[in-house]
Amino acid sequence: MKRILVVGNGLAAHRLTARLAALGHDGPVTVLGAEPHPAYQRTLLGSVLGGDVPASALTLSAPPPGVRVLTGVRVVAIDRARRVVRCADGTRYGYDTLVLATGARPTGDVHTLADAARPVRGRVAVVGGGVLGVETATALRRRGHRVVLAHGGPHPMHRHLDEVAGQLVAARLESWGIELRLGGYVPASGTLGADTVLRCTGTVPETAAAREAGLAVRHASGSIVVDERLRTNDSSIRAIGACAGTPDLAGALAQAETLATLLTGGDTRYAPLPPILRPRVPGLDIASLGASGPSGAPDEVVTFSDPARGRYARIEIRDERISRAVLVGLPEGTAAVAQLSDTGRPVPEDRLALLLGGRTKAPGDDPAAMADETVLCHCNNVSKGTVVRAWQHGARDLAALAATTRATTGCGGCTAAVRAVCAALPVPEEVG
What CATH code is carried by the domain that includes residue 293?
A: 3.30.390.30
**pLDDT over threshold 60, residue 189:** no
Residue 360 and residue 376 in one domain: no
The answer to whether the beta carbons of residues 98 and 7 sit under 8 Å apart is: yes
pLDDT class for 362, splitting at 50, 70, 90? very low
Residue 148 and residue 26 in one domain: no
pLDDT score recorded for residue 184: 67
**pLDDT over threshold 60, residue 115:** yes
Residue 191 and residue 222 in one domain: no
Q: Which of 331, 348, 364 is the last residue of a domain?
A: 364
Domain assignment present for 431: no
pLDDT class for 399, splitting at 50, 70, 90? confident
Domain assignment present for 49: yes
The answer to whether the beta carbons of residues 421 and 387 sit under 8 Å apart is: yes
Per DSSP, the residues of 267-290 read: -----PPPPEE----TT--EEEES
**pLDDT over threshold 60, residue 364:** no
Residue 126 and residue 154 in one domain: yes
- Which pLDDT tens digit goes with each residue over 77-90? 999 999 999 999 99
Domain assignment present for 331: yes
Residue 148 and residue 40 in one domain: no
Residue 329, Ramachandran bin (φ over 0: left; ψ between -120 and 50: alpha; else beta): left
Lowest model confidence (mean pLDDT) among 83-87, 93-97, 284-288: 284-288
Lowest model confidence (mean pLDDT) among 82-91, 117-126, 312-321, 404-413: 404-413
Q: Give the H/E segment covering residue 263.
A: helix 249-263
What CATH code is carried by the domain that includes residue 52?
A: 3.50.50.60
> Rounded mean pLDDT of 413-417?
73
**Residue 332 or 411, more confident:** 332
User: For residue 75, which of 99, 59, 110 has the smallest C-alpha distance?
Assistant: 99
pLDDT score recorded for residue 359: 47
**pLDDT over threshold 90, residue 1:** no
pLDDT class for 432, splitting at 50, 70, 90? very low
**pLDDT over threshold 50, residue 361:** no
N- to C-terminal Cα separation, the chain: 54
Residue 342 and residue 397 in one domain: no
pTM over 0.85: no
Separation CA 333–CA 27 (nearest Å): 44
Q: Which of 151, 178, 198 is the last residue of a domain?
A: 198
**Residue 105 or 403, more confident:** 105
pLDDT score recorded for residue 420: 81
**Residue 265 or 193, more confident:** 265
Lowest model confidence (mean pLDDT) among 146-150, 222-226, 292-296, 387-391: 292-296
Domain assignment present for 335: yes
Residue 212 and residue 344 in one domain: no
* Structural domain containing residue 311: 285-364
What CATH code is carried by the domain that includes residue 412?
A: 1.10.10.1100
C-beta atoms surrounding 83 within 10 Å? 18
Q: How many domains does the chain have?
A: 4
> Rounded mean pLDDT of 103-124?
82
- Which pLDDT tens digit goes with each residue over 6-15? 999 999 999 9
Domain assignment present for 351: yes
As a whole number, the mean pLDDT across the chain is: 86
**pLDDT over threshold 60, residue 236:** yes
Residue 64 and residue 96 in one domain: yes
Residue 40 and residue 151 in one domain: no
Q: Is 387 helix (H, G, I), strand (E, B) or coil?
A: helix
Domain assignment present for 270: no
> Rounded mean pLDDT of 89-102?
97
Q: Which of 364, 381, 404 is the last residue of a domain?
A: 364
The answer to whether the beta carbons of residues 398 and 408 sit under 8 Å apart is: yes
**pLDDT over threshold 60, residue 365:** no
- Which pLDDT tens digit goes with each residue over 327-350? 999 988 887 888 787 777 899 888
- Which pLDDT tens digit goes with each residue over 142-164? 989 999 999 999 999 999 999 99
Domain assignment present for 428: no
**Residue 264 or 400, more confident:** 264
pLDDT score recorded for residue 190: 55
Residue 91 and residue 238 in one domain: yes
Residue 102 and residue 131 in one domain: no
pLDDT score recorded for residue 356: 82
Separation CA 239–CA 233 (nearest Å): 11
User: For residue 13, which of 244, 203, 220 has the smallest C-alpha distance?
Assistant: 244
Separation CA 168–CA 160 (nearest Å): 13
pLDDT score recorded for residue 355: 85
Residue 417 and residue 350 in one domain: no
Separation CA 255–CA 361 (nearest Å): 28
pLDDT class for 292, splitting at 50, 70, 90? low
- Which pLDDT tens digit goes with each residue over 239-262? 999 999 987 888 898 999 999 999
Domain assignment present for 273: no
**pLDDT over threshold 90, residue 20:** yes
